[in-house]
Structure 1
Amino acid sequence: MAESDQQSGAISENEPLEVTTPFMVPKKEISMVPDMGKWKRSQAYADYMGFILSLNESVKGKKLTCNYKVSETVEKLLDLLGTLERWINETPPVDQPSRFGNKAFRTWFAQLDKEAEVLVSAVLPADKQAAAPEIAVYLKESVGNSTRIDYGTGHEAAFATFLCCLCKVGALKADDQLAIVFKVFNKYLSVMRKLQRTYRMEPAGSQGVWGLDDFQFLPFIWGSSQFVDHPTLEPRHFVDERVVNEHQQDYMFLECIKFINEMKTGPFAEHSNQLWNISAVPSWSKVNQGLIRMYKAECLEKFPVIQHFKFGSLLSIQPSQP
């Protein structure tokens, strides 16, 4: 990974980045394949990748059950996600002829669409309330598409972008990093899994058996970082169901494998071929580096994913500063 990637957008120990331009409602800027060059050179790309790698570094070798600080902002984010979960309980699936894509998801989404700014305002400090309309866009983008009733890695990236924006306005700080992954992102995953199950959401742009997973990518990156230098568990162990059941409460990667095992039938090597191949990699640090490369190539450099990305004042389409 490039050194510049790692530095830019990393969560700073200092004061938050002062945003000199006014907040704005983010909009799409990537409308054709040749626009992808603009994205790769943008400040948004540098900041987003820096954020992902900064969190990757912070969770290295740590269990989900380790001790870490839980700030007031983190608690507020957990409340926000708890609200989304409660709305699922209050919006049961409807009877319909097609098995997938239950239309009740649209009712659930309409509630989020209406309430998103209020939910985000509750998380922001008093002096940053003006950022709510900008940041709320990423929250709405992070739960799936209400027209197609699908969910994929682009929606997951929108949630990471939402968290990155909260760091940029100073709502989340450098010492929140472990809680961002272990508490907030983990709770987000559990709410998304509930959405996927309840409304039988389609995988967005799924590559079928050749994709890493139908829905998620980031928990595999951060989850593999948790295992770096583990004294006993090696990549080959995650295909062993006994190991998964014994350790999934400590490791995000194994939680993902458990969910796949619950949702899919048949031999693991057939329904999750890419993950099966990863289990043959000799070390977790190699798995981690390989997944970061794969994430860039399969998600961040794919036009069908990035055409939906929205740019504002916090994540700018302007070229990154060297």
Structure 2
Amino acid sequence: MNPESVIGDGKKMDSGSIPSILPVNHRFVEPEKAVKTVTDMAVWEKSEAYMEYTGFIATLNEAIKSKPLSVDCKVSQNVTKIINLLDKIDKIIDEFPPVEQPQRFGNTAFRDWLSKIKSNTTCLLQEALDQQLHLAIPEIKVYLEESFGNATRIDYGTGHEMSFVMFLCCLYKIGFLNIEDNVATVFLIFNKYINISRRLQKTYRMEPAGSHGVWSLDDYQFIPFIWGSSQLIDQPKVYPPAKFLEDDIIDKYADEYMFISCIKYIKEVKKGPFAEHSNQLWSISAVGSWTKINQGLIKMYKKEVLAKFPVIQHVLFGSLLPIRRFPINH
């Protein structure tokens, strides 16, 4: 994503003071699936949505480079509004405790929780977004609703994580968030989302969606490893990278670096030797620099998530993240 597409062009929307890159007569649409066959993957990889999404990840990856979570960053009113929205979503988990059931995984109380969330997203977004952006809600709310897992299978995976990052990307596209919010978007909003996702996974014993077993990076997440490794570039506290496997390093820095927090979570939910249950991460620990790890994870994400039809067939496309071809002269 070029800076203009994050910042906006400074023009005002017709009835308010939020800068937006959208024309006044922009028509929002309800997002739909567009990648229906394996051959459609070529369309996706040349689409505006693909370029905007990967560019967005790269932009935020750069913004948080070498910074711990405790860094003093600008927290705008709009960032606070999204955090408050997520707080409300988090609290609703308390209303739906797990039910007694014969099967161990996939507690059906999750379905009731998600149903309540979906019936509340419009109101939550109306409270968070300025009045002149309410027209965008039918389009962006779908990304938020798809961020927490699948009600039928009671599972969660990288496609749901992707939906939340697309939701964030849309908040930039409509001008609600801007370049000054980049660090807070990752450290406060996205990190809050990851904590909610972990709580859901534990509370409702959610299945990993499309897990590759020990050969995947993690059962549930990918992006916090990308952004988390960027945080660790040029940080002597966790160097060489192999130190991320050490218990004292995990205890000391899990609250400062997302990557370490991910390792801590894996060690909490998985038993046995780390090299056996998390082979990919074990292999990564041998790489000599966090810069190389970060670059390698971005490549791996494109190959193992964004190039996989079983993930992309569920992606939704609208006016903000369109499936149309990315213009070459953009």
Name the TM-score, length of structure 2 as normaliser: 0.94
Bigger mean CA offset, 49-58 vs 124-133: 124-133
Query: For residues 36-75 of structure 1, what are the structure 2 equivalents within 5 Å?
Result: 36-75=41-80
2:33 aligned with 1:11: no
- What is the RMSD computed on CA atoms of the aligned residues? 1.3
- The answer (yes or no) to whether the contact 1:281–1:287 under 8 Å persists in 2 is yes
Q: For 1:290, what is the secondary structure of its paired residue? A: helix
2:193 aligned with 1:198: no
- The answer (yes or no) to whether the contact 2:317–2:323 under 8 Å persists in 1 is yes
Bigger mean CA offset, 52-61 vs 79-88: 79-88
Q: Which runs of 5+ in 1 are unaligned?
A: 1-5
Bigger mean CA offset, 68-77 vs 225-234: 225-234
2:265 aligned with 1:259: yes
Aligned-residue offset at 1:210: 0.4
- Find the aligned partners of 1:48 and 1:109 in 2 and give their Cα distance: 25
- Find the aligned partners of 1:175 and 1:231 in 2 and give their Cα distance: 27
Name the TM-score, length of structure 1 as normaliser: 0.96
Task: Find the counterpart in structure 2 of residue 114 from structure 1.
Answer: 119
Aligned-residue offset at 1:13: 6.4
Aligned-residue offset at 1:152: 0.1
- The answer (yes or no) to whether the contact 1:9–1:47 under 8 Å persists in 2 is no
Bigger mean CA offset, 18-27 vs 297-306: 18-27
Task: Find the counterpart in structure 2 of residue 233 from structure 1.
Answer: 238
2:16 aligned with 1:34: no
Task: Find the counterpart in structure 1 of residue 228 from structure 2.
Answer: 223
Task: Find the counterpart in structure 1 of residue 17 from structure 2.
Answer: none
- Find the aligned partners of 1:111 and 1:262 in 2 and give their Cα distance: 29
Aligned-residue offset at 1:316: 0.4
Q: Which amino acid aligns with 1:254?
A: I
Q: Which amino acid aligns with 1:281?
A: V
Aligned-residue offset at 1:171: 0.5
- Find the aligned partners of 1:73 and 1:122 in 2 and give their Cα distance: 11
Aligned-residue offset at 1:8: 7.7
- Find the aligned partners of 1:278 and 1:9 in 2 and give their Cα distance: 34
Cα offsets for 1:176-224 (capped at 9, x unmatched): 0000000000000110100000000000000010010000000000000
- The answer (yes or no) to whether the contact 2:101–2:107 under 8 Å persists in 1 is yes
Aligned-residue offset at 1:10: 5.6
Bigger mean CA offset, 51-60 vs 70-79: 70-79
Task: Find the counterpart in structure 1 of residue 326 from structure 2.
Answer: 320
- The answer (yes or no) to whether the contact 1:9–1:51 under 8 Å persists in 2 is no
13 and 59 in structure 1: CA distance in 2 versus 1, 3 angstrom threshold: farther
- From 136, 139, 147, the equivalent of 1:142 is 147
Q: Percent identity, aligned pairs only?
A: 52
Task: Find the counterpart in structure 2 of residue 296 from structure 1.
Answer: 302
- The answer (yes or no) to whether the contact 1:9–1:46 under 8 Å persists in 2 is no
Task: Find the counterpart in structure 1 of residue 14 from structure 2.
Answer: none
Aligned-residue offset at 1:226: 0.4
- Find the aligned partners of 2:282 and 2:166 in 1 and give their Cα distance: 29
Q: Which amino acid aligns with 2:35?
A: I
Q: Which amino acid aligns with 2:303?
A: A
Q: Which runs of 4+ in 1 moved over 6 A?
A: none
107 and 13 in structure 1: CA distance in 2 versus 1, 3 angstrom threshold: same
- From 179, 203, 207, the equivalent of 2:212 is 207
Aligned length: 317
Task: Find the counterpart in structure 2 of residue 88 from structure 1.
Answer: 93
Q: For 1:257, what is the secondary structure of its paired residue? A: helix
321 and 46 in structure 1: CA distance in 2 versus 1, 3 angstrom threshold: same
Aligned-residue offset at 1:122: 2.0
Task: Find the counterpart in structure 2 of residue 170 from structure 1.
Answer: 175
Cα offsets for 1:121-178 (capped at 9, x unmatched): 2222221110001000000110000000000000000000000000000111110000
Q: Which amino acid aligns with 1:162?
A: F
- The answer (yes or no) to whether the contact 2:144–2:167 under 8 Å persists in 1 is yes
- From 272, 281, 294, the equivalent of 1:275 is 281
- Find the aligned partners of 1:116 and 1:63 in 2 and give their Cα distance: 31
- Find the aligned partners of 2:201 and 2:289 in 1 and give their Cα distance: 32
- The answer (yes or no) to whether the contact 1:248–1:254 under 8 Å persists in 2 is yes
- Find the aligned partners of 1:188 and 1:81 in 2 and give their Cα distance: 7
Bigger mean CA offset, 164-173 vs 121-130: 121-130
- The answer (yes or no) to whether the contact 1:42–1:316 under 8 Å persists in 2 is yes
258 and 10 in structure 1: CA distance in 2 versus 1, 3 angstrom threshold: farther
